[in-house]
Structure 1
């Protein structure tokens, strides 16, 4: 089956591990720490705080790891997606050293947890290779190895090519002692350890308000409250922040294909290139002992700013087949969302312009598994009142003057998206809309998002994102409405599935597919 023929997107992790089920929160509750988000960051934070003796609870809107954690490719690395020479430019040599040390510490922490809890999650230490094939920038690998070694990664080595691969990568950097695992097997075990240790987990529990201060609490859509001493928001992008953090990071969609290959035909390692958009590769067990799955991702673009996202799968397929002639059928395809901070480093710590007991973990910059873990370590230290030398580098309130150009570029892009209110065209005949597809159209001064379900019935809703009013666009890969400003996402019926928005798209009661005067559109 070709990638363009598939519509559903299910990651290999979702297909091979069932996560434990928990009940929704059904009453008020008192704990020491309430953690919003049941992915890698939230569950790791809950586990570490539980080990410190804190009474913790995790509240998750859907199922555990149902967000970006279930859509990762689970590379645990010191070879960061942002080049060390760029990190050094934005944060100085000391900042680059801290970045390297904190990511190494995160890998070590996962290894320690796996060993101490005896978790069977296919964890493996292996080498990683960064290559610059077709990169027009001169000396990019030389600059990177020099910066990485200044940051303390002394064992990074420059090689003539990635060894044993079927194609000539050209020169590459070898990063030793990287790591991979099955993220959902790891987190399923972590959730079990949290509840056995007295922690509480609630799924199907959508948070609508977060309040810090002396009487801190988290409120859910059904009015229940979790009263606590500290709140940690670990939802990929903060749902408790209206503007501050969202001006300093940008959402990108990233795409992944899983190809069946003969077992042993590609050396087991992590692979990355330096292109923009870039590619990243790892291997996973296949459906039989004779096969493996070659997982290839990349082809990122700004969320909501690609009219034909399905073409990204075709590009990955073409790129892969040109370099790995042993690939066979496509077994999996999925996409995810990456938050890219303007200066390359995550935002971890106290939420800007909020009470001191509200913490966030966001800005994964393509290194979500490692960032989530170091974020859990840092936030745990802050809540426990311990000093942590990483605090300044990841401080969410930091102002990165050296990243001003990137800040202006990203926010200029956001401002431009509001022009869709002017340029969006009137409705074309909805009879032409295919089943399972959506479109946005103008009706007078109003904007409507229309979806035709598999039965041919139409569903109408406001096209204005409930975060800051940007117009959503249709994502034909995930069957979702995506906001091109700050990355909020809604399912085909308008239900919010990803922040920063916390409210659903407003439904419209249109009784006909024919054009209606704008006064009849109650947005």
Structure 2
């Protein structure tokens, strides 16, 4: 969805940076309450992670609830489940109220054991926790309706799915109808207590600012020590219509008792009268630290279980921000009174983003919200100390790249369409040779906090292994926390 760039100074009640589901949900809920809002995005609406989601609407989260209970207590785990379930209800209500045609429907979800997890005990443990926090509708069943043997699994009734870009288009229309403003192709360069300055030097004066850029671009350090960036990979396979029962399917990964995300997640998207799209994702890894054969692994896993596949026309990846204590950060930015953030959505961006719309709008409107404390970005995560130190030690280790040799010693080694990092005396330089043979050189130092970036051969990007900033092969910033391009040298 393309709107005009900001071309003049404006004044609104609330300025929102980021046109994904979180930013658009905040704008929608506030505009319904009569607030003057403006949304800006440096791409188009939905061009970030919301356009890359597999769009599972569920309260069955990447982290198991018995782990969430350990981290946040029984009441905290209960609030988390309630908030994600409420998010699905709100999406359904908005779809009906605004008459949004986005393929929304209720579907059941099934959590089953992976081939490497042969124990039933974690499933029973999860069921016991869900029962304690009031989710008594979840049941242990002998088999899922998947076209392969899953064995015993947890059945989550009445979850949901939709087409995220169609939904965002509907939200945009509703925001505009209520007097809201949306500007695309507009990059926020500077932030202060009174508003935003764009890279074209126009200003948005606002009482409140909401940053919904997946990972906050307004924070230099604090929030980035409390969460970690991962890449996840997805394929879209064409299958005969109705050949797979429509549902959400998740496996438990290699170790259900640990902190790993489900390794595979599956849903079915209607396409036309003869085809459905089987959407399968997984194989996550830290940004900039591993480039495994993710697509090949997912394809193999899928073909072994879904023999009806005709072909696989789509492949894409997404950027997941994992909070140390497995719960998103939504609310006032620490030490700020009028700046709000929404981040740490893990693999549940659609429900987290909707929660952000509800919670942040309530905070701005000075309404009490029962979820405020559990999602507070300033909260202390005492029971996640181990994860905190492990992730931040991992970040520290990445700075040793300053001391290492480069991937290549000369640009003569660089093939067309490929990039690398090389050493020039005391400096590290990111180099890319385009299809015409021209070499482009940039500083290999991430503008965020000085980590050395790495070439991603799968996606032809330069990725920061510290906090996850990503840049195109021509040095343009794609994903924060960096808010600036790489410094161009040649």
What does residue range 487-498 of structure 1 map to in structure 2 within 5 Å?
Answer: 487-498=468-479
Which residue pairs with 2:58 in the alignment? Answer: 77
- Aligned mate of 1:201, from 164, 182, 193: 182
Which residue pairs with 1:317 in the alignment? Answer: 299
RMSD over aligned CA atoms reads 1.2
Whether the aligned pair in 2 keeps the contact of 1:463 and 1:471 (CA below 8 Å) is yes
Distance, in Å, in 2 between the alignment partners of 1:264 and 1:400 is 45
Which residue pairs with 1:296 in the alignment? Answer: 280
Whether the aligned pair in 2 keeps the contact of 1:342 and 1:406 (CA below 8 Å) is yes
Which residue pairs with 1:432 in the alignment? Answer: 413
Q: Deviations over 1:355-412 (max 9, x none)?
A: 2110000000110000000111000000000000100100000111100000001001
Residues 137, 439 of structure 1: alpha-carbon distance in 2 compared, 3 angstrom cutoff: farther
Whether the aligned pair in 1 keeps the contact of 2:406 and 2:428 (CA below 8 Å) is no
What does residue range 331-480 of structure 1 map to in structure 2 within 5 Å?
Answer: 331-353=313-335, 355-425=336-406, 427-480=408-461
Distance, in Å, in 2 between the alignment partners of 1:331 and 1:178 is 27
Q: Which runs of 5+ in 1 are unaligned?
A: 1-18, 510-523
Tell me, yes or no, if structure 1 residue 171 matches structure 2 residue 165: no
SS at match of 1:418: helix
- Aligned mate of 2:225, from 241, 247, 251: 247
State the 1:414 CA deviation. 0.5
Distance, in Å, in 2 between the alignment partners of 1:150 and 1:438 is 52
Q: Deviations over 1:225-276 (max 9, x none)?
A: 1111100000000000011110000000000000111111111000001104
Which residue pairs with 1:127 in the alignment? Answer: 108
Residues 73, 360 of structure 1: alpha-carbon distance in 2 compared, 3 angstrom cutoff: same
Distance, in Å, in 2 between the alignment partners of 1:427 and 1:460 is 13
Tell me, yes or no, if structure 1 residue 28 matches structure 2 residue 9: yes
State the 1:433 CA deviation. 2.1
Whether the aligned pair in 2 keeps the contact of 1:132 and 1:140 (CA below 8 Å) is no
Which residue pairs with 1:10 in the alignment? Answer: none
Distance, in Å, in 1 between the alignment partners of 2:197 and 2:398 is 32
Tell me, yes or no, if structure 1 residue 282 matches structure 2 residue 267: yes
Whether the aligned pair in 1 keeps the contact of 2:270 and 2:276 (CA below 8 Å) is yes
Distance, in Å, in 2 between the alignment partners of 1:136 and 1:451 is 46
State the 1:425 CA deviation. 2.9
SS at match of 1:419: helix
SS at match of 2:168: helix
Whether the aligned pair in 2 keeps the contact of 1:82 and 1:365 (CA below 8 Å) is no
State the 1:449 CA deviation. 0.3
Q: Which runs of 5+ in 2 are unaligned?
A: 254-259
TM-score (ref. length: structure 2) = 0.96
Whether the aligned pair in 1 keeps the contact of 2:44 and 2:185 (CA below 8 Å) is yes
State the 1:452 CA deviation. 1.0
